[in-house]
Structures are given as C-alpha cells and as structure tokens.
Amino acid sequence: MNILDVLMLFKNVYHALLSVIVALPLVFTMGADDKAGTEVVINENATNPYIVEYKNPDISAHRSGAGVAPQNTLMAFETMLANNEEYGVDTFEFDVQLTADGELIVLHDLTYDSTTNAVEVYGHDSVYASDLTLAEAKQLNMGENFQLNGEYPYRGLRGDDIPDNLRVPTCEEVIDLIEANAEGREFRYIIEIKSTGTQGFEAADKLYELVYEKGIEDRAIWASSKLAVSYYMENKYPEMPRSAGVIEVLQFYIYARMDWDLNDVNPTYVALQIPYGDSAAGGIINLGTKQCINYAHKYNIAAQYWTINDAEAVEYLTNNGADCIMSDYPDMVNDIVNGK
C-alpha cells in the first residue's frame, strides 16, 4: 500500500467512527427487534444475484459443514456433495491463507492447534499456518479434534493411516472437487482470506487468479475481516464481488438505524456477511431485523448470516428475508427452509 492508499484508508475509518459518535444513542436499543407492524419489503428491481427469493435463502455449509465432518477438509466437502438432497447446500463457505512456501490452503484458524495434532508433532502450541510448508502441513491429521456424538472418530490417526481427505487441502483442490461433482449445479462460494498484512495481500492476488482460472468469478464473493486486506482487495480488484468489512458493517448498521442515505458513503460491497444471535456480541446487537434486511435490499445489498446453528434463528431470519444462512448443520437449515 502506498501513502495515498493509507490516507484513504484512514479517511474511511474516520467517517465510520464519526458516524458512531453521532449515533451513540443507538447503543441502548442495539438488541431490539422490529417495531410492531414492520413488514418485509421486496426490492422488485434488485439486480444483485445474491439477493434471492423471499423465504428461500441460500443454504451455506459453514466451514464446509463443521458440525457434520471435520471442518474445511475434503471429507467435509465430499459429504456435502454426495448427500446434497439431505444438506441442500447452495453455497460453500470456507477460509484461506498462505503456507510458508506461498500455497493457498483452506484453514480457518491462524494456527493448526485447535483442529490438528500439530502441538504433538512440533512440541509447542501456536503452530501457525504461515510457519509450515504445504508438504509439512499435509502430514497433519485435520480430523484430530473433530467431535461427533461425544466421540473423536479420527483421533490418533498418524502417517499413512491419515486418509488424503483428512489432510489440509489447497484452495484449488477444494474448488476442483466441488466443480467436478456439481452435476449441473452452479454452487456459489464465500471465501474469506484469513492471512494478515502482506501475506493477506499475496493471498488476495492468488485467490483472484485462481477464481478466474476456474471460471467461478461470477459465483464467488470474497471477504476479509482484516481492514488493510479488505481495502487492498477493493482497490486492486474492484470487479470482484466482496462482502463488507468490519468498519463498513458498523457504518451500515448506523445508517440503517438512522435511516440515512447509504449512497452518501458509496458502498462498493455486494453483501453483508454478518452474525446473528450469540455470534453477534452475545446477542447484544440484532443485525437480523426486517429493518436491517429491508434497508440492505433497498441499496441492492444481500444480507447473509453466520453462524446459525439454532432452528429458531433460522426461522426468524428466513421470515425476515435473509438471503443466505451459513450453518455448521446445513441439514437442519434445509429441513426448516424447505419444510422437510
């Protein structure tokens, strides 16, 4: 980033923080539901393909269905694809970051500690994705700490006993698997860059190239919670659909609650990928109201929610007009959305 980019970044942050100060009274009503009589407003003129039919939200396998199979593994993706009538997945959500040798892998946490046997292998905690080469990472058991019905079905697998679909996958391997097993379906992708700093910039470059190489650029939204990475993505690749960054979500919420004109800040994101319920600061803030979703749709912005593992929350968001529901249990969402 050059000095001009840095100045523009600080300008955007300044405007967002100024909005926060002006709207401080909202702090006392952030968790409130809609006022009685609030109706869902359908934007008949929406051109955003991620704004979907009312009460028919896209179903997204969060981390490829982390409650059903070891998260972000080829095993999890295979499970979703082979049983899609049960899971009803429209969109795959996963996270990417760079290895020490610059390979783009699928991994949520910045370290391997919570999902693998890395601490055992390396004798210390905080084994970062950026510390290991792809070859080194491929030696780990990505199902080590996956729990199902109180048991750990893949714990203890080592060496050649670790199946290939429980080793860390590259982003290319995941996309190839999904596309090869699509069977005529056009799955969508939500891909979040977890790498930070210059590695985040490099990850964005590699992801951009890969998305276009695989021909999924019109079905993929990318994201980053890292302010500098999000700004880099927006400015270097403006043609690539992205979700709002953290500061932009905060600004959106204030504008929605105050009913200000969002065009004043010229939003360039196509979707909000936002929490609801306990994921949203323990329920302190309610981003799933009809007011918020109506306001997003008014400005041609899709409202997509994570991580929704509660049936009542699925019903609430579906009735309020959500466009996508990301869950560790997509089969539960499918049962509710499609009345199974």
Percent of the chain at pLDDT > 70 equals 90
The pLDDT assigned to 303 comes to: 98
Beta strands (DSSP E) in the chain are 58-62, 91-98, 104-106, 188-193, 220-223, 271-275, 302-306, 324-327
Helix, strand, or coil (residue 338): coil
- Which one-letter DSSP state was computed for residue 241? -
Query: What is the C-alpha separation between 145 and 68, in angstroms, rounded?
Result: 13
How many domains does the chain contain in total? 1
Q: Tell whether the model's pLDDT for residue 151 goes beyond 90.
A: yes
- Asked, for residue 8, whether it belongs to a domain, the answer is no
Q: Average the pLDDT over 98-115 and give the result.
A: 98
Q: Average the pLDDT over 194-221 and give the result.
A: 97
- Give the pair of three-digit tokens for residue 206: 């590699």
Query: What is the C-alpha separation between 323 and 192, in angstroms, rounded?
Result: 18
Q: Average the pLDDT over 28-41 and give the result.
A: 88
- Asked, for residue 128, whether it belongs to a domain, the answer is yes
Query: What is the C-alpha separation between 75 and 64, in angstroms, rounded?
Result: 9
The pLDDT assigned to 30 comes to: 79
The pLDDT assigned to 23 comes to: 59
Its domain, for residue 125, covers 18-30+39-337
- Asked, for residue 102, whether it belongs to a domain, the answer is yes
- Of 33-47, 92-106, 269-283, 324-338, the one with minimum mean pLDDT is 269-283
Q: Compute, in degrees rounded to 10, the torsion defined by CA atoms 262, 264, 269, 272.
A: -20
CA 327 to chain centre: 10
Q: What is the DSSP string of 52-86?
A: --TT-PEEEEETTTTTTSSTTSHHHHHHHHHTHHH
- 135 and 149 in contact (C-beta within 8 Å)? no
- Asked, for residue 5, whether it belongs to a domain, the answer is no
- Asked, for residue 233, whether it belongs to a domain, the answer is yes
pTM higher than 0.75: yes
Task: Give me the CATH number covering residue 133.
Answer: 3.20.20.190
